[in-house]
Structure 1
């Protein structure tokens, strides 16, 4: 298999895919409209700002998952940045190591940008991130959900 990680900033044709994934994975259950997420995704991809940047894992040119490098992803910890955010693997491609590929790919992109530490929070994937070398540093509660905050230094 051939894998490649690309940015929606450079490949805007992927924005409808990442917008739908972001909506399915993070916004649908919160009652946010798909069209609002797609508009947000287009704005992010066309922005000249350094962050956020969404990266897509391609398997034989087919998009299988995404991850975002964000300035801030957790409002209760504004002092921690930047963040690995919105890791998502499309359902037909789960269980094949793509999540780990996305994490490692984002780490490589961060190092290229001179970033030497990343943060993330998770409600249920701490083992995946620990496998990639991330360290749990704190458990917090937001809106009744327990979350593990993790970091990784390069």
Structure 2
């Protein structure tokens, strides 16, 4: 199977898909309107000069999941940047290693742009990231629960 990763900067036709995924995975339960997230996603994709940048894993032309390279993803740690954020694999494609493919693809993109270290936070996927070589730095209380902050030297 041929997998490849593209940016929504270069493929804005993927914005409706990534916007829906972002809403479903990170904003729906907070009561945020889908149209608001889609507008935000369009703005993100048109920002060609910097971060954030969203990447989509494709199998042939089928989008399977996304991940974002972001700045300032965690308000309680403004000194830590940049971040791997919003890793999402569509439900029918979960459990097949696509999350790891997305992490590795984002790491490669970051290396190519001269980024030496990435950060992320997670509520429940520290084991996945540890398999990819990420190191847990600390666990802190945030919003309604505990999160693990992790780093990866590239």
Give me the TM-score of the superposition, normalised by structure 1: 0.99
Residue number in structure 2 paired with 1:23: 23
Residue number in structure 2 paired with 1:112: 112
1-structure distance, mates of 2:96, 2:127: 16
2-structure distance, mates of 1:119, 1:16: 27
1-structure distance, mates of 2:106, 2:16: 20
* 1:63-142 map, 5 Å: 63-142=63-142
SS in 2 for 1:32: coil
Q: How many residues align?
A: 154
Once the 2 structures are TM-superposed, how far is the Cα of residue 144 of structure 1 from its aligned partner? 2.5
Runs of 4+ in structure 1 deviating by more than 4 angstroms, as ranges, are none
Once the 2 structures are TM-superposed, how far is the Cα of residue 61 of structure 1 from its aligned partner? 1.5
Of 46-55 and 120-129, the range deviating more from structure 2: 46-55
Residue number in structure 1 paired with 2:51: 51
Unaligned runs of 5+ in 2: none
Alpha-carbon deviations, 1:126-152, whole Å to 9, x = none? Answer: 000000000000101111310000000
